[in-house]
């Protein structure tokens, strides 16, 4: 039997979640409480899963209280917001899940089972954005490391180069001699460990140096 504690300041939400969970043969709502009673209820019942409304003003206190428990349950944040920044923040704070309150009630029991088995769960509306953001960051790190080798002037030249400007155009824009720009471009390619302007431009784009419309 999977014991669950529901934490929400709205009695109607607590009652609805309890009804859905208790309809499953292998799940029991050990407690359904407002936020001020959460830590005590969780400590007393020792649930495997906690469903926590992130909109409660004292939710951070619940997180702190959970950190003092010997056995910390899997906490799934319930939210009305599909903003991936909130989901990422919840996961970074130790939550095992981030689920929208608009989720079909029939999906709640399977979700609780996965959480109890150690899975991380997110609503589909936010999971793609969170994963995409993580991958974008991972891809940018090596490019940013290469870009950091450039001087300020080389950085300026790279941005204009990546924007499609010729050496002559860059020279006019930065008030430099044509030969000076040519030398800068050669140095940039060497520092970025590439052999051509297109590859250098790709590094600049992946490092986030270009507006999206300029990178197309």
Does the reported pTM lie above 0.85? no
**pLDDT digits over 12-21, tens only?**
999 999 999 9
CATH fold for domain 140-215: Arc Repressor Mutant, subunit A (1.10.10)
More confident residue, 52 or 212: 52
In CATH, the number for domain 2-127 is: 3.40.50.2300
Q: In the chain, where does the domain assigned CATH 3.40.50.2300 lie?
A: 2-127
C-alpha triplet 90, 118, 23: angle, nearest 5° = 90
More confident residue, 116 or 53: 116
DSSP tag of 26: T
Burial of 95 (0-12, 13-18, 19+ CB in 10 A): buried
Return contacts of 60-64, CB within 8 angstroms, 24+ apart. 61/35, 62/7, 62/35, 62/38, 63/93, 63/94
Q: In the chain, where does the domain assigned CATH 1.10.10.10 lie?
A: 140-215
Confidence of residue 49 (pLDDT cuts 50, 70, 90): very high
**pLDDT digits over 125-179, tens only?**
776 666 666 555 555 556 778 888 899 999 999 999 988 899 999 999 999 999 9
């Amino acid at each position: 039997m999977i014991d669950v504690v529901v934490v929400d300041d709205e009695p109607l939400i607590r009652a609805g979640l309890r009804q859905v969970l208790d309809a499953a043969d292998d799940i029991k709502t050990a407690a359904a409480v407002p936020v001020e009673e959460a830590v005590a209820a969780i400590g007393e019942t020792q649930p495997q899963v906690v469903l926590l409304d992130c909109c409660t003003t004292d939710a951070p206190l619940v997180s702190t209280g959970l950190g003092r428990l010997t056995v910390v349950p899997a906490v799934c944040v319930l939210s009305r917001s599909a903003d991936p920044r909130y989901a990422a923040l919840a996961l970074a704070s130790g939550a095992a899940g981030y689920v929208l309150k608009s989720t079909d009630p029939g999906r709640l029991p399977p979700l609780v089972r996965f959480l109890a088995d150690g899975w991380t769960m997110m609503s589909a509306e936010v999971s793609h954005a969170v994963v995409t953001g993580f991958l974008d960051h991972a891809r940018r790190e090596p490019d940013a490391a290469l870009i950091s080798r450039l001087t300020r002037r080389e950085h300026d030249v790279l941005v204009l180069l990546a924007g499609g400007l010729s050496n002559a155009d860059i020279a006019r824009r930065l008030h430099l001699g044509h030969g000076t720009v040519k030398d800068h471009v050669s140095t940039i390619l060497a520092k970025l460990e590439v052999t051509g302007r297109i590859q250098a431009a790709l590094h600049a784009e992946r490092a986030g140096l270009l507006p999206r419309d300029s990178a197309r």
